Amino acid sequence: MEDKALLADGFAEALIGMGRQHTQDLAVYDYLRCVEILMERDGMDYTEACEYMEYNVIGAWVGKGTPVFIDAFKEEE
């Protein structure tokens, strides 16, 4: 039986797709967009938003299906 992907509350605008690992679906979020959401929505500065992400979001294991947060590679111009 496949486990369902879990979604991160409040970060729908940062959801960039679904990933798959073995039989597990995972929601994939843009880390920097999540930081921007915290800054815009909650009035945090950049450092506060990054610290919040690291401790409260990325550091939160909620079981199988825990979302993945990525830093996208950007082409150098």
Task: Give the residue numbers spanning the domain of 60.
Answer: 12-68
74 within a domain of the structure (yes/no): no
Q: What's the domain count of the chain? A: 1
61 within a domain of the structure (yes/no): yes
2 within a domain of the structure (yes/no): no
76 within a domain of the structure (yes/no): no
User: CB 44: neighbour CB atoms within 10 A?
Assistant: 17
Residue 37 has pLDDT above 90, yes or no: yes
What integer pLDDT is reported at residue 3 of this predicted model? 73
Residue 57 has pLDDT above 90, yes or no: yes
67 in Cβ contact with 21 (< 8 Å)? no
6 within a domain of the structure (yes/no): no
**What pTM was estimated for this model as a whole?**
0.87
Q: How far apart are CA 61 and CA 19, in angstroms?
A: 17
